[in-house]
Amino acid sequence: MNYTFDSVAFLRSLITDPVGNSPVFTNALTHVVSERRARVKL
């Protein structure tokens, strides 16, 4: 099997589910200072 960068990036985005995990991630950052929170989200 040959994997291209695009196929690996697409599969990884499906596995990690960034949209579905965003509420969990946002909730985990509630105690972080807002200036640092912007840097962490990047």
pLDDT tens, 3-40? 899 989 888 888 888 788 888 888 888 888 888 877 77
Per-residue pLDDT, 41 = 65
Residues 6+ apart with CB under 8 A from 40: 29, 32
Per-residue pLDDT, 42 = 62
* C-beta neighbour count of 37 within 10 angstroms: 13
Which bin fits 17, alpha (ψ -120 to 50), beta or left (φ > 0)? left
Where does residue 29 rank: exposed (0-12), middle (13-18), buried (19+ CB within 10 A)?
Answer: middle
Q: Is the dihedral of CA 5, 38, 27, 22 positive or negative?
A: negative
